[in-house]
Amino acid sequence: MGSCKSPHIVLLLYVLLCSVYRCFAIGVDANQTANLLIDASQASARPISDTLFGIFFEEINHAGAGGVWAELVSNRGFEAGGPNTPSNIDPWAIIGNESFLIVSTDRSSCFDRNKVALRMEVLCDTQGANSCPAGGVGIYNPGFWGMNIEKGKTYNTVLYVRSSGSINVSVSLTGSDGLQKLAAANIIASGSEVSNWTKFEVQLIAQGTNPNSRLQLTTTSKGVIWFDQVSAIPLDTYKGHGFRKDLVQMLADLKPQFFRFPGGCFVEGEWLRNAFRWKETIGPWEERPGHFGDVWMYWTDDGLGYFEFLQLSEDLGSLPIWVFNNGISHNDQVDTSSVLPFVQEALDGIEFARGSPNSTWGSLRAAMGHPEPFDLRYVAIGNEDCGKKNYRGNYLKFFSAIRNAYPDIKMISNCDGSSRQLDHPADMYDFHIYTSASNLFSMANHFDHTSRNGPKAFVSEYAVTGKDAGRGSLLAALAEAGFLIGLEKNSDIVEMASYAPLFVNTHDRRWNPDAIVFDSSQLYGTPSYWVQCLFNESSGATLYNSTLQMNSSTSLLASAISWQNSENENTYLRIKVVNLGTNTVNLQVFVDGLEPNSISLSGSTKTVLTSNNQMDENSFNDPTKVIPKQSLLESAGEEMEVVISPRSFTSIDLLMESSDIIRTTGADSVSVSSI
């Protein structure tokens, strides 16, 4: 179609012909033109869920251990090899050879829940025929594929030591080969001082930088020394709570309204014996037994435990959503008649988060430094367990007990209620979708026909996967943007949505793709991450009816919202357009329902996410290859033409001068690069 001479009449006709609320629309005509009609009147306005967009964290791809949790030492308690001795101490390794020392494990630790300790018998000495090498002998830990040590920063190092005699142990941070000395301190103690387990704490100030460093414990003195619970963590962490700053800042930039944790399949385990059990992850870090995550196949010391997840959620200003095990793993499950101990474990976990400092479990939270309750309002009863034999029976036991004890908590079922009503009570239901780009883009209208009665949807896991995704392609991101526009338009029934997975350490890519890629010292967001950034003002914003006029093609989707920048209180009309097609589109935009001259002639912007090839990705070598680029919009107004690039996501912010448009309390604008 050509440009409409009378947009108001066209809009009226369109309302009569088609429910504006349901019109998503579609395609580009042969002339590469399309019309977007926006009704910005108060009669059209509908509030978007305050909690629509958030994040889902799972301990997968070393997202926590070796990722967002800033602990540098891997297998700090020597427990990863299992409770039996002798045990595998990987990735710890020996400095020296068997003529100088013998390293083994025994069950002599002073910690009841993690008894394995490392025993180091030093055979050489400071002098004599069998003198130790000049640099000493001992053990080292390379961390999670190298420790990132930065000049001038301080690293708090803690270790527990016992010995049969006096000790002189060097605690040092070095390069990967041990030659570059970055920081060092000596622990010197008499035999009487270390005859029993003794805690030592030293602060190492780095004199150099190396992203592939290691921690060494060495000596040149003959004798037997035991080590346990060896930790090294930078003092400079996010809000001082032990989280890696750059990774968490990436989360903060998303302005997530909720934080779902800790999984995912990680919650279930392949077997119940390896499921995440919250009571094992709280209290002093030295006393946490850790566990093997048998779904994603690595050991976690559980320094990032239930308390830390709640703390991180609070630090991000997000509402926590706790996913707990309901007595079901991938391969075994508890019969409903025997599930009450699991129910009590969940109730205790809620009390830990919300209980008063005088309550049984709330007092433990207070002892950990957080006397005020956490704002836990949501729990998910299991993860992807709907098809399991005992799920409904177990679920009802949990639902009844939690509703009785905490009537305000919203409970999330694993069963999908988007196509048919649930056969059990729930406040929300989980909806997970991993599929191709074309399928996900076509699912923009999936919730159009969902019943508006009953529980709301929580799209807690979505992503384009498979060959379309690469390792985070533009194509995947554009399809996800189209899907999110559909969720935005259906936010009366979709209460929450989050991408998955959130993180991947490039050295342990168990799942592909992911939103944020990192190693010990660097990181970047995939195009999918940047799409989420461009939706972070939608939560709590105001949605307007919008209609695309085109032929039967299916390459274009659009939406319109208003949001307010909390820093300068400016209100914007935001128009988002996804073009999954290969043609440039000349989009004619008509905004109706505003007072004349409501749109400022200056101060409006256009932000575009695109690239030369739909399979383009970001990387460590080119972390900004596919990111949003912002420019000033020169032709802002109630009627304007905008060029929409092929294979692109465009976000237009029109600055409003008048207060007649509904003002919202949306989040701040995303930071993007300028062109």
> Does residue 443 lie within any of the structural domains?
no
pLDDT at residue 207, rounded to an integer: 97
Query: Residue 278's closest CA among 324, 319, 315, 314?
Result: 324
Residues 229 and 137 in one domain: yes
pLDDT-derived band at 128 (thresholds 50, 70, 90) equals: confident
What tokens were used for 17?
Answer: 């012909």
Instruction: Write out pLDDT tens, residues 620-636.
Output: 999 999 999 999 998 88
Residue 612's alpha-carbon distances to 93, 609, 626, in angstroms, are 46, 11, 9
Rounded-to-integer distance, Cα 608 and Cα 622, Å: 18
pLDDT at residue 601, rounded to an integer: 81
Residues 624 and 565 in one domain: yes
Cis (ω within 30 of 0) for the bond into 83?
no
pLDDT at residue 19, rounded to an integer: 36
Q: What's the CATH code of the domain at 169?
A: 2.60.120.260
Residues 41 and 169 in one domain: no
Residue 439 one-letter amino acid: N
Higher pLDDT, 159 or 21: 159
- Final residue of a structural domain among 234, 251, 281: 234
- Final residue of a structural domain among 214, 234, 254: 234
Residues 104 and 211 in one domain: yes
pLDDT at residue 673, rounded to an integer: 42
Residues 38 and 115 in one domain: no
> Does residue 108 lie within any of the structural domains?
yes
Q: Across the strands, what pairs with 155?
A: 204, 234
Number of domains, the chain: 2
Residues 101 and 223 in one domain: yes
> Does residue 191 lie within any of the structural domains?
yes
Residues 112 and 40 in one domain: no
What tokens were used for 201?
Answer: 């704490």
What's the mean pLDDT in 226-244?
98
125 burial (CB, 10 Å; 0-12 / 13-18 / 19+) is middle
> Does residue 157 lie within any of the structural domains?
yes
pLDDT at residue 567, rounded to an integer: 83
Residue 665 pLDDT exceeds 80: no
**Which residue range forms the structural domain that includes residue 127?**
93-234
Residue 22 pLDDT exceeds 60: no
Instruction: Write out pLDDT tens, residues 448-492.
Output: 999 999 999 999 999 999 999 999 999 999 999 999 999 999 999
Residue 29 pLDDT exceeds 90: no
- Final residue of a structural domain among 234, 258, 286: 234
pLDDT-derived band at 664 (thresholds 50, 70, 90) equals: very low
Rounded-to-integer distance, Cα 56 and Cα 460, Å: 7
Instruction: Write out pLDDT tens, residues 40-85.
Output: 999 999 999 999 999 999 999 999 999 999 999 999 999 999 999 9
Residues 97 and 218 in one domain: yes
Residues 102 and 230 in one domain: yes
Residues 105 and 218 in one domain: yes
pLDDT at residue 506, rounded to an integer: 98
Residue 669 pLDDT exceeds 50: no
Residues 110 and 230 in one domain: yes
Residue 1 pLDDT exceeds 60: no
- State the average pLDDT for the chain: 92
> Does residue 320 lie within any of the structural domains?
no
Instruction: Write out pLDDT tens, residues 534-558.
Output: 999 999 999 999 999 987 566 999 9
What's the mean pLDDT in 244-251?
98
What's the mean pLDDT in 174-180?
96
Please state the separation of Cα 180 from the chain's center in Å.
35
> Does residue 351 lie within any of the structural domains?
no
Lowest mean pLDDT among 27-36, 95-104, 251-260, 633-642: 27-36
pLDDT at residue 550, rounded to an integer: 85
Residue 670 pLDDT exceeds 50: no
Please tell me the pTM assigned to this model: 0.92
Residues in contact with 14: Cβ distance below 8 Å, sequence separation at least 6, in sequence order = 20, 23, 37, 547, 549
Rounded-to-integer distance, Cα 501 and Cα 58, Å: 7
Q: Tell me the three state secondary structure of residue 127.
A: coil
> Does residue 372 lie within any of the structural domains?
no
Residue 14 pLDDT exceeds 80: no
Instruction: Write out pLDDT tens, residues 399-441.
Output: 999 999 999 999 999 999 999 999 999 999 999 999 999 999 9
Residue 668 pLDDT exceeds 80: no
Residues 152 and 42 in one domain: no
Whether 503 contacts 518, CB under 8 Å: yes
CA torsion sign, 303 to 307 to 309 to 313? negative
> Does residue 515 lie within any of the structural domains?
no
Q: What's the CATH code of the domain at 649?
A: 2.60.40.1180
Rounded-to-integer distance, Cα 599 and Cα 591, Å: 10
pLDDT-derived band at 569 (thresholds 50, 70, 90) equals: confident
pLDDT at residue 663, rounded to an integer: 41
